[in-house]
Amino acid sequence: MLHIPFAKSSDKAEQARPAAQSKQPKVAHQSPLRRVVDQWWERLYALAFGKVPLGEQAQLYDSNQGLRDYIWNTAGQTIWGSFFPLLTIIATQLTGAEEAGRFNLAFTVATLLLWMGNYGVRTFQVSDLDEMDSFGAYQVQRVMTCILMLVCGWMYCTAKSYETSMMLISAGAFGYRAIDALADVYEGRLQQMDKLYLSGISLALRTVIPLVVFTVILLTSGSLPTASIALAIAELASLVVVTIPLALLETPRSRSWEWLEVREIFVECFPAFAAIFLFNLIESVPKFAMEGTLPYEDQVYFSAIYFPAQKALLALGFIYKPQLVRLANIWQDSTKRVRFDLIVVAMLGAAAVITLGMTIFAAIVGIPLASFLYAADFEPFRHAQYLMLLAGGFAAASDFLFQILTVLREQGKAMLAYVIAFVFVVAASMIMVRTAGFMGAVYAYLAVMVILFALLAAQYVTIRLRAR
C-alpha cells in the first residue's frame, strides 16, 4: 500500500514541473565556433594557473592528417605571402603613396631581417625526427637570433638618422617581424610532431588578426606610426594566446636543453641561413638604392610591380617542393640520372610557362587592377611590369636550382654565385638608379636575376658532368 502515496506525490510533482520549468531561463544553443573558443580559453586558463601540469595536458588534435595538413598549410602560407602586399595596398589607400612608401621601405628592411631571425632553421628542425636537439634548444637559439635582428634593425635606423615618425614605423615593422620569427619555431614544433595543419591554422590566425588590427587603427587614427606599433602588439597577442599554447599543449614536453645543442643549431644551419639571407638581400638592394635618390612613393610603385613577380616563385615552389624527397631518391640511383636531368629541365620549362602566363594576365587585367588597388595610374609602368615579371621568372628558376644543389648536397658551392650576384647588384643599383631613376632599379633587378640564374645553372652542369 506504500506505493499509493508515492504515486500521488509523483503526480503532483509532474503537475508542478511545467510551472517550474517555465521560470527557468532557456540555455542558448552554442555554435561550433563558440564551443571551440570556449574550450580553448578553458585550456589556457588551466595552463596559466597550473590546474593541470603541462606534461599531463591532454592533446585534443590528431596527427598525420594528410589532406587537412595540405589544405591548412597552403592556406596559411598563402595568407602569409599576401600579407605584405595587402599592408601596402591598405596603407596606400588610407594615407597616400608617399606615406605608404615610407612604411613599405621599413617593412622591406624588417622582412630582410626576418630571415636573420629564422636563420634557416625550420627545415633542420622539422627533419629532426629523433630530436637529437631538444625543442628547448631550438627556442633558445631562436630568441637569440630575434634579439640579434632587433639590434641590427636599431643600428640600421640609427645609421639612417630617421626622424621620430620613421623610427616608430620601423620599430613596429621590426617588432612584428621579430615576433613572426619567434612564432616560426613553435609552428615548426607542430610540424615536427606531424601536426602541420595546426601550424597552418596558427600562421593564418596570427596573420589575419594583426592585419585587421592594423587596418582598424589606421582607419580610425590616420597615423601610420600608431598602426605600425598596434601591428606588433597584435602579433604578440596572437603569439601568446594561440601559437605558443598550441605548441605546448599539442606536442610532447621537451627534455632540458644544453648549450652544445644551441651551438650545433647555429653551426649546422649557417649555410642555409647565408644562402637565404643573401638571396633576399640581393632582391632588396635596388629598393635600398632608391632611398634618398627617388621619392618614397616610388617604393610603392616598385613593390606593386615586384609582388606579382614573386608569385612565379611561389607557384613553382608549390609544384616542386612536395617532390624534393622523391628527387633525392632518384638522384641516389645512378641509373636514373638522365631522368633527373629531364625533371630539372621540365621545372625550368614550368617556370617559363608560369612567367608567360602571368605576363599575359598583367597585360590584360594586371595593370588596370594595380591602378584600382593602389589608387594610382599604373599605365606608365606597363613596360616595367613586364621586365619585373621576367625577372621573377629567373628568380623562381634560381631558387629551384639552389634547391636542386641542396638535394645534390652541393649547396656550399652556390655561395660563390650569391656573393658574385650581391657584389654586382650593389654596384649596378647605385649606378643605374642615379642615371636612369626608377627604371634603373628595375634593370638592375632583372640583370642580377639573369646573372644569378646563369651562375647556378653553370654550377649544376659542372656537377652533372663530373658525376657521369
In a domain, 326, yes or no: yes
Average pLDDT over residues 213-228: 95
pLDDT at 348: 92
Asked if residue 125 has pLDDT above 80, the reply is yes
Identify the domain boundary among 257, 282, 308.
Answer: 257
For the whole model, what pTM was predicted?
Answer: 0.80
Statement to judge: residues 313 and 413 lie in one domain: yes
Statement to judge: residues 214 and 286 lie in one domain: no
What is the grid cell recorded at 185? 619555431
Statement to judge: residues 322 and 445 lie in one domain: yes
Q: How far apart are CA 284 and CA 306, in angstroms?
A: 11
Asked if residue 359 has pLDDT above 90, the reply is yes
Asked if residue 436 has pLDDT above 70, the reply is yes
Task: Report pLDDT digits (tens) over 262-272.
Answer: 999 999 888 88
Asked if residue 185 has pLDDT above 90, the reply is yes
Q: Among residues 386, 398, 397, which one has the least CA distance to residue 358? A: 386
Average pLDDT over residues 398-419: 82
In a domain, 71, yes or no: yes
Q: How far apart are CA 343 and CA 320, in angstroms?
A: 10
CB-count exposure of residue 254 (10 Å: 0-12, 13-18, 19+)? middle
Average pLDDT over residues 11-38: 57
Statement to judge: residues 343 and 214 lie in one domain: no
Task: Report pLDDT digits (tens) over 315-354.
Answer: 887 777 766 667 777 877 777 778 888 988 999 999 999 9
Q: How far apart are CA 305 and CA 333, in angstroms?
A: 42
CB-count exposure of residue 320 (10 Å: 0-12, 13-18, 19+)? buried
What is the grid cell recorded at 189? 614544433
- Domain containing residue 386: 270-468
Statement to judge: residues 280 and 253 lie in one domain: no
pLDDT category, 382, cuts 50, 70, 90? Answer: very high
291: helix, strand or coil: strand
Expressed in percent and rounded to 5, the helix, strand and coil fractions of the chain are: 85, 0, 15
Task: Report pLDDT digits (tens) over 159-180.
Answer: 989 999 999 999 999 999 999 9
Average pLDDT over residues 233-247: 93
What is the grid cell recorded at 193? 610532431
Asked if residue 129 has pLDDT above 90, the reply is no
Q: Among residues 227, 195, 187, which one has the least CA distance to residue 211? A: 227
pLDDT at 447: 95
Q: Among residues 224, 219, 213, which one has the least CA distance to residue 170? A: 224
CA of 196: how far to CAs of 13, 29, 395, in Å? Answer: 55, 32, 27
The one-letter amino acid code at 223 reads S
pLDDT category, 438, cuts 50, 70, 90? Answer: very high
pLDDT category, 50, cuts 50, 70, 90? Answer: low
The one-letter amino acid code at 286 reads P
53: helix, strand or coil: coil
Instruction: Report the DSSP beta bridge partners of residue 291.
Output: 294
Identify the domain boundary among 257, 291, 323.
Answer: 257
What is the grid cell recorded at 126? 622539422
Query: How confident is the prediction for the chain on average, in pLDDT?
Result: 85
Residues 6+ positions from 358 with CB-CB distance below 8 Å: 308, 309, 311, 312, 366, 389, 392
294: helix, strand or coil: strand
Task: Report pLDDT digits (tens) over 264-312.
Answer: 999 988 888 888 898 889 988 998 899 888 888 888 899 889 988 888 8
pLDDT category, 5, cuts 50, 70, 90? Answer: very low
Q: Among residues 282, 308, 298, 297, which one has the least CA distance to residue 387? A: 308
Task: Report pLDDT digits (tens) over 77-114.
Answer: 889 988 999 999 999 999 988 899 999 999 999 999 99
Residue 72 vs residue 214, higher pLDDT: 214
Identify the domain boundary among 226, 257, 288.
Answer: 257
CB 411 within 8 A of CB 402: yes
In a domain, 18, yes or no: no
Statement to judge: residues 246 and 132 lie in one domain: yes
Instruction: Report the DSSP beta bridge partners of residue 294.
Output: 291
In a domain, 47, yes or no: no
In a domain, 16, yes or no: no
Asked if residue 15 has pLDDT above 90, the reply is no
